[in-house]
Chain A
Amino acid sequence: MAELMSLEDAIERYVSDGDCVALEGFTHLIPFAAGQEIIRQGRRDLTLVRLTPDVLFDQMIGAGCASKLVFSWGGNPGVGSLHRFRDAIENGWPVPLEIDEHSHAGLTNRYVAGASGLPFAVLRGYAGTSLAQHSGTISTVTCPFTGEQLAAVRAVNPDVAVIHAQQADRDNNVGLWGITGVQKEAVLAARHAVVTVEEVVDELTLGVGGIVLPSWVVDAVCVVPKGAAPSYALGYYDRDNAFYEEWDGISREREGFAAYLDENVYRAPVRAVRET
């Protein structure tokens, strides 16, 4: 059963150096507060997994938390490049970053296999692309019924999945809605799950596309209002598009990035929430 605890305690207990950590949220409900707590606690040598390493992973990679990245699209949506991500891949700064690169469909199905207790998943994908040549987790499999050759991707089973949701109820069941991405699959594929929520309510009030993660598949629930900002939480607050545009300048040079991190992460005992 999930336990209600502080974010500091949850990260301390469930995220260790060297772990494989998935932080999911597909443009919506991105677990920024939790990711920044991982930075603040100085975790190193992590394998970070995420379909869309955007501004949050740019911060974690630039802070030196990761030695490996599993991903399928690394950019600042609607803005451009991720400078810290590129600096790590192109120059090995601040530490070399190994990558395992997929398409969204491929990495998504790695989570599906992981959640399903299967060693791999099957999809129509990758045929004719260069992606398979550069990943050890993409192969092919022949259908035993039709003889057709299909792509196979290895299951991903993170040590811990970290997500943000709108609500938990008094029994620590978690409710999220709107664009829910691969959060359910990430949680069910992982050995442990840490969930930050906007608020605790008597009864979940799910909106469009709502899903419930029962308390017993979650380890820690942490109440962190605005825990997804500068991304958004449908029904609670909007995406801070201006910040995503500002990030391009903040992150462009190592010095500016370090100053940002110092002021907004390391020297912020409780995560500073930017008002929008």
Chain B
Amino acid sequence: MRSVEMGRSVGELAEEADRAVAYTADEMMSVAASRVLTDGAVCFVGIGLPSTAANLAKRTHAPGLVLIYESGTIGAKPVHLPLSIGDGELAETADAVVSVPEIFNYWLQGGRIDIGFLSAAQIDRFANLNSTVIGSYDEPKVRLPGAGGAPEIAASCRETVIVMRQSRRSFVPEVDFVTSVGHGSGAGDRDRLGLTGRGPSLVITDLGLLAPHPGTLELELTHVHPGVEVEDVRVATGWDLKVAEDLSRTVPPSADELAVLRQLRTAG
């Protein structure tokens, strides 16, 4: 890296950028999520945080990213951030529009999707997700919208990435309901269940990044965002969070990433 040759560490550069442009924790999260999407990848996109990140990636480093929404729009190129997964603009800008049975059976179950982007109300240490109920199913404290496309996205994409804000309410020792399987109860579970995709590879929050430990598949903290300390993340986690030996600090959003993100939001 040229700047390192000039005698400044990545950390120093990060601090400099940090001072240069102010940004929110949510913006850091969206930018970090966009960075995991590589140019040319085929991405199954949920609405909300995942859609923001995917559209940001497509407008920055990954113009060839293929966006697929569960409404059956393949290769959508929305100018505005859609409010729902079925906005008219998605159909009008798509390479192809197919039925809902087709998108789930041929494209998702058929193994044609590289990466699935999900969010949820609760996540546990093995990245199992709950978007169905808080409390018991029969007498819920909070009734959430439910599964939608998530269980099969979690099952069948080659890998999944989860984007959600981190707190003790959402990062829980055990989810109240397993809507979508992450790594089940640990190594070997996905194979045993016959799930074809590799499962969650990364969890991106407003505080940092968590990834499954290669051996146990339990989530561990691999990155903290600028200005966040390990203790902040522990406090926002409902289990005894493990920290990776090579813990790193996330590179802050560049001026370009922030500008595109903000433009997306105001245009949306």
A interface residues, Cβ below 8 angstroms from B: 26-28, 51-52, 71-75, 77-78, 81-82, 85-86, 89-90, 101-106, 108-109, 111-112, 123-131, 134, 148-150, 178-182, 184-185, 208-209, 211, 232, 234, 238-239, 241, 244
Query: A77, B97: Cβ atoms under 8 Å?
Result: no
Minimal beta-carbon separation of B1 from chain A (angstroms)? 40
Known: A26-B86, A78-B47, A148-B194. 4 other contacts (CB 8 A): A74-B146, A77-B85, A81-B144, A181-B99
Stretch at the interface among B70-78, B208-216, B234-242: B70-78
Residue of B at shortest CB range from A150?
B194
Interface centre among A126, A150, A211 (most CB of B within 10 A): A126
Residue of B at shortest CB range from A244?
B83
Q: Which of B70, B101, B140, B184 contacts A89 (CB 8 A)?
A: B140
B interface residues, Cβ below 8 angstroms from A: 47-48, 70-73, 82-88, 90-92, 94, 96-101, 104-105, 108-109, 132, 137, 140, 143-152, 155-156, 177-181, 184, 189, 193-196
Q: Which of A74, A150, A184, A234 contacts B91 (CB 8 A)?
A: A234
A52 to B47, CA, bound (A): 14
Q: A180 and B72 in contact (CB under 8 A), knowing A26-B100, A27-B84, A125-B155? A: yes
Q: Which of A129, A148, A178 contacts B181 (CB 8 A)?
A: A129
Closest 5 interchain pairs by CB?
A: A27-B86, A209-B97, A75-B145, A77-B84, A73-B148
Q: Which of B71, B83, B97 contacts A78 (CB 8 A)?
A: B83
Query: B100, A27: Cβ atoms under 8 Å?
Result: no
Interface centre among B70, B101, B132 (most CB of A within 10 A): B101
**Residues of the A chain whose Cβ atoms lie less than 8 Å from the Cβ of B146:** 71-75, 101
A238 to B145, CA, bound (A): 24
Query: A111, B88: Cβ atoms under 8 Å?
Result: no
A219 to B82, CA, bound (A): 35
A-B contact count (CB 8 A): 177
**Residues of the B chain whose Cβ atoms lie less than 8 Å from the Cβ of A208:** 91-92, 94, 97
Q: A51 and B109 in contact (CB under 8 A), knowing A28-B91, A78-B84? A: no
- Chain A contact surface mostly: loop
Query: A125, B152: Cβ atoms under 8 Å?
Result: yes
**Residues of the B chain whose Cβ atoms lie less than 8 Å from the Cβ of A51:** 100
Query: B99, A180: Cβ atoms under 8 Å?
Result: yes
Q: Which of A52, A85, A109 contacts B101 (CB 8 A)?
A: A109
Query: B97, A104: Cβ atoms under 8 Å?
Result: no
Query: B92, A181: Cβ atoms under 8 Å?
Result: no
Query: A128, B145: Cβ atoms under 8 Å?
Result: no
Q: Which of B100, B144, B193 contacts A108 (CB 8 A)?
A: B100
Query: B87, A239: Cβ atoms under 8 Å?
Result: yes
Q: A77 and B71 in contact (CB under 8 A), knowing A105-B108, A182-B99? A: no
Minimal beta-carbon separation of B257 from chain A (angstroms)? 23
Query: B100, A104: Cβ atoms under 8 Å?
Result: yes
**Residues of the B chain whose Cβ atoms lie less than 8 Å from the Cβ of A102:** 147
Query: B86, A28: Cβ atoms under 8 Å?
Result: yes
